[in-house]
């Protein structure tokens, strides 16, 4: 069973400046719910109750969000407005939240390694909150789909989606062999390949299940693309032993780290998921 989900959330969110000057990008709301809360909902649905958040300087509002706000709650107690807190209260009852600070921004691999103290020696999920995933007609969220696969295969799994060839340079890209419907054994993977050099158009999106040996690998992973420690490079080491699967998930994903993706997600949520 996968019980813990790691949320790397120490990044600067420079693409959304000035909004992210003092507000973490993970707190940017899609209509009325912050991005991170969508990720937590998805993890809870998949049976995870330990939310492990890697934060950085100036990210206090993340931990405040998943805590009681006495003044506010006292003020609206007994009024219809209290309903608006129903979902977040339910989350706080079901999940526990732990935090660790990443002192230096040395890449996603480094952020995940920073989370080792919170995860320990067990398989875990990773959610990058700026990739917002919705079911869009699928029966389950992406993490639930991945957990079911983990239970069968017991190895690391990355979520992938096909992207246009002129966008592969924005992602980790895999090369895989199809082993069953929508599931590939990863033979090779490259972080943000130069245009025209990608091994396929199957891009990794921000959902991972990782086996805990990834931490030892990350400790020895040299800085890669952009001078940062990349999870893609660490995963390649597992892949070379046949220990990484790529799953073409059911559902829809929005790149909320980009302005067009953020707007698209906002419209989608307003039209399909938001309730007054
Ligand atoms: C990270 C990963 C990349 C992955 C992407 C998904 O990149 O390094 O492999 O494809 O997330 O969103 P970032 O978007 O943080 O630059």
User: Is residue 268 over pLDDT 90?
Assistant: yes
Atom in ligand 1 nearest the alpha carbon of residue 255: 12
Atom in ligand 1 nearest the alpha carbon of residue 205: 6
6, 98 Cβ separation under 8 angstroms: no
Q: How far is the CA of 172 from the centre of ligand 1 (A)?
A: 6
Q: What angle, 0 to 180 degrees and rounded to 10, lies between the N-to-C axes of helices 35-45 and 86-94? A: 50
Place of tokens 């597992």: 238
Read off the DSSP letter of residue 72: H
CATH code (residue 8): 3.90.550.10
Average pLDDT over residues 184-195: 97
pLDDT digit string, tens, across residues 154-183: 999 999 999 999 999 999 999 999 999 999
pTM greater than 0.85? yes
Q: How many domains does the chain have?
A: 1
What pLDDT is recorded for position 171?
Answer: 97
pLDDT digit string, tens, across residues 192-248: 999 999 999 999 999 999 999 999 999 999 999 999 999 999 999 999 999 999 999
Ligand 1 atom 14 nearest Cα = 171
Reference 52, options 136, 113, 142; nearest CA is 113
What domain range is 102 assigned to? 4-272
User: Is residue 276 over pLDDT 80?
Assistant: no
Q: How far is the CA of 89 from the centre of ligand 1 (A)?
A: 31
């Amino acid at each position: 069973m996968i019980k813990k989900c790691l949320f790397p959330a120490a990044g600067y969110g420079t693409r959304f400046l000035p909004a992210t000057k003092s507000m973490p990008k993970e707190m940017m709301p899609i209509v009325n719910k912050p991005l991170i809360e969508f990720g937590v909902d998805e993890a809870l649905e998949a049976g995870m109750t330990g939310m492990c958040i890697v934060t950085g300087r100036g990210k206090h509002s993340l931990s405040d969000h998943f805590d009681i706000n006495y003044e506010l709650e006292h003020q609206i107690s007994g009024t219809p407005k209290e309903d608006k807190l129903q979902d977040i209260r339910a989350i706080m009852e079901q999940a526990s939240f732990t935090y660790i600070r990443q002192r230096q921004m040395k890449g996603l691999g480094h952020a995940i390694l920073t989370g080792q103290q919170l995860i320990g020696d067990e398989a875990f999920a990773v959610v990058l909150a700026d990739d917002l995933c919705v079911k869009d007609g699928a029966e389950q969220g992406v993490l639930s789909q991945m957990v079911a696969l983990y239970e069968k295969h017991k190895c690391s799994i990355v979520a992938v989606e096909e992207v246009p060839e002129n966008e592969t340079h924005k992602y980790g890209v895999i090369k895989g062999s199809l082993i069953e419907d929508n599931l590939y054994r990863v033979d090779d993977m490259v972080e943000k390949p130069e245009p025209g050099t990608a091994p396929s158009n199957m891009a990794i999106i921000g959902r991972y299940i990782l086996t805990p040996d990834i931490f030892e690998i990350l400790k020895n992973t040299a800085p890669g693309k952009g001078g940062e420690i990349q999870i893609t490079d660490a995963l390649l080491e597992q892949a070379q032993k046949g220990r990484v699967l790529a799953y073409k998930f059911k559902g829809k994903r929005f790149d909320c780290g980009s302005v067009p993706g953020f707007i698209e997600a906002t419209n989608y949520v307003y039209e399909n998921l938001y309730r007054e």
